[in-house]
Amino acid sequence: MSFDPLKIRKDFPILDQKVNGKSLVYLDNAATSQRPVQVVERMNEFSLITNGNIHRATHTFANKTTEAFEQAREIIRSYLNATESAEVIFTSGTTESINLVAHSFGDAFIHEGDEVIVTEMEHHANIVPWQMMCERKGAKLKVIPFNEKGELSIDTLDSLITGKTKIIAVTHVSNVLGTVNPVATIIEKAHLKNIPVLIDGAQGAPHFQIDVQTLDCDFYAFSGHKLYGPTGSGVLYGKRKWLDQMPPFLGGGEMIDRVTFGKTTFNEIPYKFEAGTPNYVGAIGLAAAISYLESLDHTLVLKHEQNLLQFASEKLKTINGLTIYGEANEKAGVLSFNIEGIHPFDLGTLLDQLGIAVRTGRLCADPIMDHFEVENMVRSSFAFYNTMEEVEVFYQALIRLKAMF
């Protein structure tokens, strides 16, 4: 049995369009994926029919919205197989999730001279918050390098970990190289020394079904908009044992227990980390996206995504002067490259003229650009609604543009 993307494309009407007179080929899924109508309709319900602020009032709209918001948390808990829904914190996305941990975990556990380990292939969102925290605390940031294939040099981890290491933060899947990192091995090694691990799942969650108990990660962060859900929605999963000990990140309404001018006490998790009015419509939409994903056969979806990536890699490798960045044995969804003699921005603009959407630039990963000594790259990225025919159109377009130059 195989997955038929044409069947589910009816759920994504945005894909059925002409762009610059050509049928749209959307290959910028790692930047943001498209949303199915089921997600948009669910969100519209709460904007057009029953909008009320959550956890605050006793009227019908507020009750219905609160119920849907907490139901969304439970859907996500179940999807991640978290032990309890209090371990699911709604955020605005991966960036906020990581900043929350860097701030609150950092405040509670990191002191002068301590160390934090990240990798050379992190998105800026999993570098800068740690760097800012290290600067505040007088701590040191250490880096696991990657090799010429774009795979982490895991053997360096043993020597990087010291008695001062307080946390390891690593991306599940690289947004540039597509590398699927051996996160289970990293977690196992870290836990031998009682060091917690945060996984940046911005690019992992869209491809893999995550079981946080099996993985045994301490934190897992992801964004709704890359997971067929809305922008401004996201999740931080965290183990209760850490979240309970971490101070709040933002202060305000709902995160408190009791406020006086002398002293404020704080609410329990997850509310302690959800100050102010959260993006509850976004959270409800994200849960709808997850329910949508659960309605598909995940094994077939993953196989189809792998087929797209493999087909695209094989095709692009035949183009003279084209360099692929990242040739790890295990990759997911992402294919970044440059073509000799063509500026990536020109390539991106010309592809757009042909209806093909790709990402160009530094991909929020300066250290990867430095590693390969390039200024920019072109990135194509695939979702389950892409077809083999679209990959063929993309390949033919590259051939045509290359000939033009």
The residue (of 198 and 293) whose beta carbon lies closer to ligand PMP is 198
Q: Give the contacts of 189 (CB within 8 A, at least 6 positions apart).
A: 157, 158, 161
DSSP string, 299-310: HHHHHHHHHHHH
CA distance 144 to 384: 31
Q: Kindly indicate which of the ranges 4-12, 93-101, 162-170, 345-353 contains the residues binding ligand PMP, using the contact rule CB under 6 A.
A: 93-101
CA distance 211 to 204: 12
Q: Does 200 bind ligand PMP (CB under 6 A)?
A: yes
Identify the CA nearest to 244 among candidates 80, 55, 84.
Answer: 84
| Cβ 221 vs Cβ 234: under 8 Å | yes
The residue (of 350 and 357) whose beta carbon lies closer to ligand PMP is 357
Identify the CA nearest to 43 among candidates 244, 180, 225, 276.
Answer: 225
CA distance 44 to 27: 27
Q: Does 125 bind ligand PMP (CB under 6 A)?
A: yes
Q: Per the residue annotation, which of 101, 364, 383, 397 is the catalytic one?
A: 364
Q: Does 336 bind ligand PMP (CB under 6 A)?
A: no
Q: Does 93 bind ligand PMP (CB under 6 A)?
A: yes
Decide if 364 is catalytic: yes
The residue (of 77 and 172) whose beta carbon lies closer to ligand PMP is 172
Residue 397 CA to chain centroid, in angstroms? 29
Q: Does 87 bind ligand PMP (CB under 6 A)?
A: no
The residue (of 127 and 397) whose beta carbon lies closer to ligand PMP is 127
Residues 126-185, interacting with ligand PMP (CB under 6 A): 126, 171, 175
Contact mark string toward ligand PMP, 206..225, x via CB under 6 A: -----------------x--
User: β-pairing, 234-238 with 256-259?
Assistant: unpaired
Q: Does 99 bind ligand PMP (CB under 6 A)?
A: no
Binding interface with ligand PMP (CB under 6 A): 93-95, 123, 125-126, 171, 175, 200, 202-203, 223, 364
> Any idea which residues carry the catalytic annotation?
364
